[in-house]
Amino acid sequence: MKRYIRYSLLTFCLLSLIAFTIQPAPRVLAAWDSKKPDSRTQHLVQSRENFAYALGLQAYIYGYPLVLVAKTMGEMTNQLAPLNQFVYMDAVATPSFRTIVTPNSDTLYLNAWLDLSRTPVLLQVPDNPQNRYYTVQMLDAYTNTFHNESNRATKQQARQSVIVGPDWRGPLPAGIHKIYAPTNTVWLLGRVEVKGADDLPQATAFERQIQIKPLQQGKASGVNEATPEVPKDVLTSLSFFQVMTDMIRKNPPPACDHVLLNQFALAGIDVQNGFDPARIDPANRAGLLRALRDGPSVVENGFLPYTTVRNGWGSFSPIGTYGDQFLARAFIAYSGIGANVPEEEAYFRAYTDGQNRLLAGEKSYTLHFDRDQLPKTTALWSINVYDNELFLARTEAGRASVRSNNGTLKLGPDGSLDIVLQKSPPRDPHANWLPTPAGNFNLVLRVFAPIPGSLGPRHAWPPVRENR
């Protein structure tokens, strides 16, 4: 925190100095309307545009998760379920599932968007004598995970909790578990283990026992209300900053973030009063539009400072909760919004084989685990295949995953495991086959509820090797 404050104050001083030195004099302001401004005026206008570009780029990185949350919430509450209600999926995700990127095909999903400014919300989870893995992940408006109501939290027992927003001052039920949310907007993202096709009815029945109910009933509950859908071009137009400032005003960030928000206001991105494109002068407008053009590329490549790659498998840190690492937060929102904390679900992604060559469906590969290399978990692990858009890949076999809990993986006599990755079925009908699509693809290895200490900072999975 001290390092962040020192950095922020240095940034504040530097940007304030720049802002002061490039403030145009009244004569220059008048000259902006001239058809032939002098070179001094042109220089000052360009400086203001560059200044707005620099602030706009930082604001894009900071605000990207907020805007994506607003976009996703608007779509889901209009199309699936209104505020403060769960929507349950009755089947695992398939390649046709396009609501969020990088979904797994191993669990049932359940989703709810909460507006805690009106009322706390009661959450009920059931008894779990079968030790079925589940979690109800809770994310704030900035995509930070602040709690998981899961096996680890409940010890397989039924529990009722109340989720309370930061502004609530009313009464709360006595003798009930309390979960305090840092923002009024909360995303509940649930996952329920499915052990195979035969287990789907039991998994669905268990999922439906996870329920929410507003503490305050009636109009105050927000039930049956949707949220406004954001403009379809929100990620590329000036409406980005309007949605961003609206979300921040509804969901104030930690106090330490205000040193950045105060700088954004110098380019017209005013959190206190909102963003109005009509009030932006031409230089600021030009700078912010440039930032909107370049921002997506910066976010999409935001993995570079935070990724460690070993044997082709990349791990990302921080993930699930981000502190002041705003670029990391933005990249995960882009590539896998809703990523959980490593204690609950660990992720490893591979775009290349062990020789650093892109994975391609035209080739055949083998992934070999020695017995002591297999993921260590109290629940399950899986490998899913994704396309270049980060959605589940379409394969001729109609599936794109293998997982440890459905009884299909066959170990060798020594306890090792070989998985064959290719488009067509292997010659050996007993082989563990992970179907791949045409073209390039990527893999995500997930470990649900990993055993503590089994995934240290220097952990390395075996490489994917091309079959010659």
For the cut 50, the answer to whether the pLDDT of residue 81 exceeds it is yes
| Secondary structure class of 11 (helix, strand, coil) | helix
For the cut 90, the answer to whether the pLDDT of residue 38 exceeds it is no
Token pair recorded at residue 291: 């930032």
pLDDT tier, 21 (very low <50, low <70, confident <90, very high otherwise): very low
For the cut 90, the answer to whether the pLDDT of residue 448 exceeds it is yes
pLDDT tier, 40 (very low <50, low <70, confident <90, very high otherwise): confident
pLDDT of residue 180: 98
Q: What are the E-state strand segments in 282-380?
A: 307-310, 313-316, 345-350, 365-369
| Whether 420 contacts 433, CB under 8 Å | yes
> What percentage of the chain exceeds 90 in pLDDT?
85
Higher pLDDT, 28 or 217: 217
pLDDT digits (tens, 9 = 90+) for 242-253: 999 999 999 999
For the segment 185-198, the average pLDDT, to the nearest whole number, is: 96
pLDDT of residue 23: 41
Would you give the end-to-end CA distance of the chain in angstroms?
51
Q: ∠ CA(356), CA(98), CA(185), 5° rounding?
A: 105
For the cut 70, the answer to whether the pLDDT of residue 137 exceeds it is yes
For the cut 90, the answer to whether the pLDDT of residue 1 exceeds it is no
Of 41-50, 281-290, 441-450, minimum mean pLDDT range = 41-50
For the segment 110-136, the average pLDDT, to the nearest whole number, is: 96
Measured in residues, the chain has a length of: 468
Do the strands 159-164 and 177-180 form a parallel or antiparallel pair, or are they unpaired?
A: parallel
pLDDT of residue 217: 80
> What percentage of the chain exceeds 70 in pLDDT?
91
- How much is the mean pLDDT over the chain? 91
β-bridge partners, 454: none
**Nearest-angstrom CA–CA distance, 48 and 44:** 6
pLDDT of residue 37: 62
For the segment 155-178, the average pLDDT, to the nearest whole number, is: 95
pLDDT of residue 36: 55
pLDDT of residue 41: 82
CB atoms within 10 A of CB 71: 17
Of 1-15, 170-184, 339-353, 406-420, minimum mean pLDDT range = 1-15
Quick one: which of 148, 90, 202 has its CA closest to 449? 148
For the segment 430-448, the average pLDDT, to the nearest whole number, is: 97
pLDDT of residue 16: 41
pLDDT tier, 221 (very low <50, low <70, confident <90, very high otherwise): confident
pLDDT of residue 219: 65
Of 219-233, 248-262, 406-420, 431-445, minimum mean pLDDT range = 219-233
| Cis upstream peptide for 318 (omega within 30°) | yes
